[in-house]
Amino acid sequence: MMTILNAEDSLVLIIDIQDRLLNAVFDKTLLENRANIIAKAAGILNIPVIVTEQYPKGLGYTISSLKESLGENAKYFEKTAFSALDNNEIKEAVKMEGKKQIILFGIETHICVNQTAYALLEEGYEVHVIRDACGSRSELEYSAGLSRMKDNGAHIITAEIALFEWLKGARNPKFKEVQSLIK
């Protein structure tokens, strides 16, 4: 199926970008940078954001730079299951936003992101995984997670693909503001 992102149809779902988890991933600088860019763009373009935190008492809370980038534009949920949709509050929050395109990223690619992507696809959502804002402890698991999600029907894209598909063109009134995030 061919598809392109549309800001009006999009919801950003950020999975477990927490202190302890981020410190264990192999390319944490890129992940943090890209996560912050998407978070800021979502705010500029009025795209709703849902953030999950896997067992925060033990793994820490969402990293402070991401919380700053999100500002008031996010709803936070704790979880213990690997798939975010196994938490009924999260599943309901996603449903309540009424969006068909879910922009998904976070930690760990092959576990929580993968299982959440699968659950979203099963629910009939169009899933777009931001590969440069995902991370795992090893490159092998990261690559395997991306392949698995693609095999299941998710679209694997980058942060810049998302931004420019949301904008559609240079005439978008938010173009300069969003473009400045990657300069």
Indicate which residues carry an active-site annotation.
16, 79, 112
| 163, 138 contact by CB (below 8 A) | no
Q: Please measure the distance between the N-terminal and C-terminal CA atoms of the chain and give it in whole angstroms.
A: 32
| 163, 181 contact by CB (below 8 A) | yes
| 163, 55 contact by CB (below 8 A) | no
What DSSP character marks residue 8? G
Peptide bond before 108: cis, by omega within 30 degrees of 0?
yes
Strand pairing class (10-15; 101-106):
parallel
